[in-house]
Amino acid sequence: MTAIANLSQATPRMREAAQRLEGQFLAQMFKPMFESVRRGTFSGGSAEEQWQPMLTEAFANSMARSGGIGIRDMVLRHMIQIQSNANEENRP
C-alpha cells in the first residue's frame, strides 16, 4: 500500500458489502456468547433455540450499522486500495 485510502472514495455498494461482512463477523463472535448464557427454569425451550440465531444476527447487524468495532473501515480501505492498484495496472 502506498498511502492510506480515503474512505470518501468508497461507493455505496462497497460500504454495504463491508458492513455486511462486519455483521457476519460479529454474529459469529456473538454466537458462543449467547450459547453460554444460562437459561432459567422457564426458558423458551425449543422455540427459543430456533429463534436465537436470528436474534444473534439482528444484534450483530444492528451493531455493525451503528459503527461496529472498526472492521468495516479496515475492509473499505483495503477494497479502495485494491481498486486503485487495479486501475494503475490497467493504465497504458
In a domain, 78, yes or no: yes
- The predicted structure's pLDDT at residue 39: 63
**Number of structural domains the chain divides into:** 1
- The predicted structure's pLDDT at residue 90: 77
Mean pLDDT by 10 residues, the chain (92 residues): 70 93 95 76 71 90 93 92 84 72
**Domain housing 21:** 11-34+47-89
- The predicted structure's pLDDT at residue 4: 63
- The predicted structure's pLDDT at residue 38: 63
- The predicted structure's pLDDT at residue 27: 95
In a domain, 74, yes or no: yes
Largest CA distance in the chain: 70
In a domain, 3, yes or no: no
Q: Say what the pTM is.
A: 0.76
In a domain, 66, yes or no: yes
**Residue 17 class from Cβ within 10 Å (0-12 exposed, 13-18 middle, 19+ buried)?**
middle
In a domain, 52, yes or no: yes
Considering only CA atoms, give the Rg of the chain: 19
